[in-house]
Structure 1
Amino acid sequence: MKPLSQLSREDARSVRVVLTDIDDTITTEGTLTASAYAALEQLHRAGFLVVPVTGRPAGWCDHIARMWPVDAVVGENGAFYFRYDRKQKKMHQHFWASRQERAQNRARLDQIEKEVLATIPGTALASDQDYRVADLAIDFCEDVPALPETEIDRIVAVFERAGAQAKVSSIHVNGWFGDYDKLSMAKALLADVFNIDWETAKRSVVFAGDSPNDEPMFAAFPLSVGVANVHAFAHRLKNKPAYITEGHSGDGFAELARILLEARDQQAQAANA
């Protein structure tokens, strides 16, 4: 992982789309700081496409798509994308699985929930579980005392024995049934909504994240950035981000935004010279 300061001006100027995780990438210790939110707004106003790609639930993502300065949001680790058309005042929703498939998968996830909570002391349902439509989120440190990594691995194992996918974020283990992840739905969104094909995306998209559930994105995008706290999960990552910020969490995201905005400003000044 190279320091973000080594990102070339040419590469920074090529960025048109900012995809970003939320928890511990935009937020800091569970709080959305003014500086991180301002960075989002500044990027959006400057003309970047800004899309959070998160493990957070559908209920939160509806709010984010409506209220935040973003162009869309991918939620529940790729289960869907939401895009709010402010002119038409209409929410566009796209799900990976049908309503019937989601209902069938929920019954299977309910069995996993019972096993995890009964056999792994200290675990709890994520407090945002009621707002989820496609996955099961087990809390290991957000609203419960932090569990050791051995217990996190046990949670993952329960999901995998049942045939589910499981990804570790900075706060939850998220599990689901379905052949998707953050990357597959982000690619669908870019193509379906913004007409950005994959070859173009590899040259024009930057992704920022911090934890193992971001690994598909780190692996796919040449311009991938980890905020400094990704170091805590580096041993779990086969595919690490190409660059790393000096700042942790929201400060790191703001650092990335400054570099992109400065490059955009310099490009505009050169064009007007």
Structure 2
Amino acid sequence: MRAVTEMPIDVAARITVLFADIDDTLTNEGLLPAAAYDAVERLTEAGVAVAPITGRPAGWCDMIARMWPVAGVVGENGAFYFAYDRTRRRMRRSFAIADAQRAADREKLARVRARILAEVQGAAVSADQLYREADLAIDFCEDVPTLPVSDVDRIKRIFEEEGAVAKVSSIHVNGWYGAYDKLTMTRRFADDILGVDIDAERDRIVFVGDSPNDAPMFGFFPNACGVANVLAFQGRIDAEPAYVAEREGGHGFVEVANRILDARSGRSAA
């Protein structure tokens, strides 16, 4: 991983789309810094399409798509995208799995939930579970005392032993049934809403993330960036970003945004 300041000017100047995780990428210790939100707004005003790509629930994503200066949101690790048409005042929602199958999958996840809570002491269902459409989120440090890595790995194994897909974020282990992830739904969102073929235009797109569940995005986008806290997952992540910020969380995100904006405006000299 190279420093964000080493991203070539010509590379940064041609970025037209920025995707970013939320928790510990846009936030710091659970709070969204004003500087990070301002960076999102500045990118959007400069003509860079911004979309959060998150593990957070549908309830949160509806609000973000409506109220943040973004083109849309991919949520629950790729279970859906939401995009709000401000002219027509209509929310566009697209799900990876049909309604009936999601309902059946939730019943299977209820059994997984019972097993995890019985077998991993200190784990808890995430506080935002009520607002989820497709996955089960197990909290290992957000609202509970931080569990050891061995317990986090155990939670992930239980999901997988039950036939579910499982991904580890900086705060939750998320599990679901279905062949999708952040990248698959980002591809659909980009095509439907942005009119962008990410396979053909990946060098004009930056993804910013911080944790193992961002690995599909890190591996796909050649100019992917990590905020500094991604360094804590070295050796436990399938793919690493090309660049890394000096600072953690939202303040690291601002570094990435500034590199792109400065290059697009011709202010950057290195």
With the shorter chain as reference, the TM-score category is: over 0.9
CA displacement at 1:134 relative to structure 2: 0.2
Where do 1:68-83 residues align within 5 Å? 68-83=68-83
* TM-score (structure 2 length as normaliser): 0.97
Where do 1:189-200 residues align within 5 Å? 189-200=189-200
2:49 alignment partner in structure 1: 49
Letter in 2 for 1:257: A
Where do 1:132-211 residues align within 5 Å? 132-211=132-211
Measured against aligned partners, the alpha-carbon deviations of 1:76-96 in whole angstroms (never above 9, x if no partner) come to 000000000111110000000
CA distance in 1, matches of 2:79, 2:201: 20
Where do 1:1-273 residues align within 5 Å? 1-266=1-266
Letter in 2 for 1:228: A
CA distance in 2, matches of 1:34, 1:226: 20
| Secondary structure of 2:50 counterpart | strand
CA displacement at 1:200 relative to structure 2: 3.1
CA distance in 1, matches of 2:51, 2:101: 26
What stretches of structure 1 of length at least 5 have no aligned partner?
268-273
CA distance in 1, matches of 2:199, 2:136: 33
Measured against aligned partners, the alpha-carbon deviations of 1:6-61 in whole angstroms (never above 9, x if no partner) come to 10001001100000000000000000011111111111111110000000000000
What stretches of structure 2 of length at least 5 have no aligned partner?
none
| Secondary structure of 1:236 counterpart | coil
Report how many residues are paired.
267
- Consecutive aligned runs of 4 or more in structure 1 exceeding 6 Å deviation: none
CA distance in 2, matches of 1:199, 1:165: 24
**RMSD (CA atoms):** 0.9
CA displacement at 1:247 relative to structure 2: 1.1
CA displacement at 1:123 relative to structure 2: 0.5
| Secondary structure of 2:64 counterpart | helix
CA displacement at 1:191 relative to structure 2: 1.3
Letter in 2 for 1:75: G
Q: Is the 8 A contact 2:212 2:238 kept in 1?
A: no
CA displacement at 1:103 relative to structure 2: 0.3
Measured against aligned partners, the alpha-carbon deviations of 1:178-231 in whole angstroms (never above 9, x if no partner) come to 000000000111112222113333121100000000000000000100000001
| Secondary structure of 2:200 counterpart | helix
CA displacement at 1:119 relative to structure 2: 1.2
CA displacement at 1:266 relative to structure 2: 1.4
Query: Bigger shift: 191-200 or 106-115?
Result: 191-200
CA distance in 2, matches of 1:214, 1:189: 17
Q: Percent identity?
A: 52
CA distance in 2, matches of 1:87, 1:145: 45
